[in-house]
Structure 1
């Protein structure tokens, strides 16, 4: 798989089209339509062009049309880190629905939101998105704002479901973005109690002893995880799901690991 681009420049064809449009429209028309960065209405830039949005969104609709899905399943929602995760094989005892699409930003998920939800209400929802936002140039504040808007929307639509945000992950190719990712993680984690969702630190498990991303957990592109990387995420999510099951039996609220605490995992 080719290395993902951190920024996507407009193609020559797009530039020509915009120039022609500018000649036809009154002065200032295009400028008036500009949207603030970080807004859910901002232009959607695919930071990971390996996966086309239209094909994947259409596939979700087709899957929903063929099968309503089991009630009380687990919804995985987000970008390519979700898309490439074999959630069915990783959680064989659970009914999983994977709604990850490659290159997705949080505004993309908000834009396509009605088309991403399964027809049957999920028992648990896990969200991973936001990394591509930063790679596309969004500020940590804008990313956190959009993530909290998405989580608020999910909480309103699924008041009885458990919801967890999977922290933005460090990776070799995007290591320079890690300080910004950490800022987003801190903001979202700080709002988890008020927003009634869980914050699950899945990034610490991908770091080596020297504090850098463990390259052995990633594919050759240095961005997407390999099977060993996903096995660590699976164990963390499995533990979160187990805590939820225990809480439902005992009637006690489920506990989550403190932010920044590393999981002791080995393959």
Structure 2
């Protein structure tokens, strides 16, 4: 490109009568040597702003906040809190005789729930709380001890904020695709169950109902991904939780939490 420009300059520098004869061809040559200016690319639509770019799920959590402000607060509802096992559960249809609030978001670990904690809560205190979280923690490589500590921290926080609510933690479930994690899940389940009475919450074993007679996860209760339950699997969970709700009563006060 620099050579072409120099040649153009030399051609247009010719003086005298020859200028009229050479100027036009020189100018044409210069025009041909200059590349066409490309049209600017079309503007892309602005991305959806992320309320908290350091963490995933923030847009999903913002949707919970919008739902809180867009509807009349539900009193004496049961709050379902946790990961995709909560999100994919047809809570409203499964518990049609009570008011419910679903605050499950897919892929969530206990750390995610703790991070977004305040934005996950309904506008008014719930009558009861059902929690399922911890499975994704183990799948991401956390140790059973670390997972247990985080779960107990979450349950302790819920108990402090809702001293009169009945609170239940659903045990980690066995699934075909994560069966190799079952020994670690069993460790977490045992650790949380041992603290239930002391810390003022209920432990509900929702794993045994998902096992076949051979002791392995019953694949007929799961979706093709081998991880999430289908309607039949959720029906078994619904029966257990519904029975707990029938017998659970709000507490009269928080039990002291020892670390």
Is the structural similarity TM-score above 0.5? yes
Map 1:24-103 to 2 at 5 A. 53-103=57-107
For 2:73 and 2:183, the matched residues in 1 are separated by: 39
Residue of 209, 215, 219 corresponding to 1:211 = 215
Contact 1:68 1:120 in 2 (8 A): no
Deviation, 1:68, is 4.0
User: Which string of whole-angstrom CA distances, capped at 9 and with x for unpartnered residues, describes residues 217-237 of structure 1?
Assistant: 000000000000000000000
Give the alignment of 1:177-196 within 5 angstroms.
Answer: 177-196=181-200
8 Å CA contact 1:166, 1:199 repeated in 2: yes
Match of 2:158 in 1: 154
Separation of aligned partners in 1, 2:235 and 2:66 = 29
Say whether residues 1:137 and 2:137 are aligned partners: no
Aligned to 2:178: 174
Once residues 123 and 69 of structure 1 are traced to their aligned partners in structure 2, the CA distance between those partners, rounded to angstroms, is: 13
How far, CA to CA, are the matches of 2:135 and 2:183 in structure 1?
A: 12
In our comparison, the structure showing a higher alpha carbon Rg is: 2
User: CA offsets, 1:140-171, max 9 Å, x none?
Assistant: 00000000000000000000000000000000
Structure 1, unpaired ranges of 5+: 1-42, 45-51, 252-267
In 1, Cα distance between equivalents of 2:224 and 2:70: 35
Query: Are the aligned partners of 1:73 and 1:96 in contact in 2 as well (CA < 8 Å)?
Result: yes
* 3-state secondary structure, aligned to 1:125: strand
Deviation, structure 1 residue 70: 1.3
Count of aligned positions? 199
Structure-2 separation of matches of 1:144 and 1:68 = 35
RMSD of equivalent CA atoms? 1.6
| TM-score (norm: length of structure 1) | 0.72
1:235-250 mapped onto 2 (5 Å cutoff): 235-244=239-248
- Answer 1 or 2: higher relative contact order, Cα 8 Å, separation at least 6: 1
Equivalent positions of 1:118-133 (< 5 A) are 118-133=122-137
Q: C-alpha separation between the residues in 1 aligned to 2:224 and 2:174?
A: 15
Structure 2 unaligned blocks of 5 or more? 1-53, 253-259
**Conserved? CA contact 1:77–1:100, under 8 Å:** yes
Normalising by structure 2, report the TM-score: 0.75
Query: Match of 1:219, SS?
Result: coil
